[in-house]
Amino acid sequence: MPDSTSPRTTVKRLPDRAAYDRETVNAILDEALICHVGFDDGEGPIVIPTIHARVGNTLYLHGSAASRMLRTIGRGVPMCVTVTLLDGIVLAKSHFHSSMNYRSAVVVGRGQVVDDAAEKDTAFAAIAEKMAPGRWDGARRPNDNERRATLVVAIPIVEASAKIRRGGPDDDPEDLMLDFWAGVIPIATNRGPPEEYVADPL
């Protein structure tokens, strides 16, 4: 269901790679551990990576109350959040048709600072669970000072799109018999074995 398109998030190039349904956008937002936030710092666009979490149709960002990025987007200026999952390097017989397999989602809109304590905790919990499932109950929750020191910005997921490329190279027929290797090098982002840090008993 194209419930979240607009001229800005309509994929102009290669529209066969585009998807607008909320489920596809949400799945990409949820799988990605970090996003890239675009905003104007007064001199031009700037892009900053950060962790995000989605709750329903809202995207939450959080960080220090002193963060320039959060303070700027918290004022409700136009902004963009993009996440990208890289799935493979597509090597065609020609450089021209070489490409990447990926799933990306772009959300444009305006954020607003979350002041409500319960909604702030909802955002904290979602971010903790994204870092490690079950983690919200697995660490000390924020106290009042920490809550005050942390800015949470909510971005409604209204204008959004996804773009996906999958599969092998799309070579020109006349290139197919060229004696070059063609195929896909899969790319995966993996979590390794957890490394415990034990406090030094002083």
Rounded distance between C-alpha atoms, residue 35 and residue 5, angstroms: 20
* Nearest to its own copies of 39, 154 (CB atom): 39
Q: b/e per residue, 46-79, with b = 16+ CB within 10 A? A: eebeeebbbeeebbbbbbeeebebbebbbeeeeb
Q: Confirm or reject binding of residue 45 to its own copies (CB under 8 A).
A: yes
> Any contact of residue 16 with its own copies (CB under 8 A)?
no
Q: Choose, by CB under 8 A, the member of 28, 29, 59, 80 that binds its own copies.
A: 80
The interface region with its own copies, picked from 6-14, 15-23, 52-60, 112-120 by CB under 8 A, is 6-14
Structure token pair of residue 69:
């990025």
Amino acid identity of 81?
V
Residues 120-179 that bind its own copies (CB under 8 A): 124, 128, 131-132, 135-136, 138-143, 146, 149-150, 168-169, 171, 175-178
Shortest distance, CB of residue 39 to its own copies, whole angstroms? 6
Strand bridging mode 99-110 / 159-165 = antiparallel
End-to-end alpha carbon distance in the chain: 59
State the Cα torsion 166-26-46-89 to the nearest 10°: -20
- Cβ 74 to its own copies, closest distance in Å? 15
Query: Could you say whether residue 17 binds its own copies (CB under 8 A)?
Result: no
Closest CB to its own copies among 22 and 110? 110
**Run of H or E including 144:** helix 144-149
Per CB under 8 A, 33 contacts its own copies: yes
Q: Exactly one of 100, 117, 148, 166 binds its own copies (CB under 8 A); which one?
A: 100
Q: Does 76 bind its own copies (CB under 8 A)?
A: no
User: Minimal CA–CA distance to 72: which of 35, 107, 111?
Assistant: 111
Judged by CB under 8 A, which of 23, 68, 76, 166 binds its own copies?
A: 68
Distance CA 143, CA 149 (A): 10
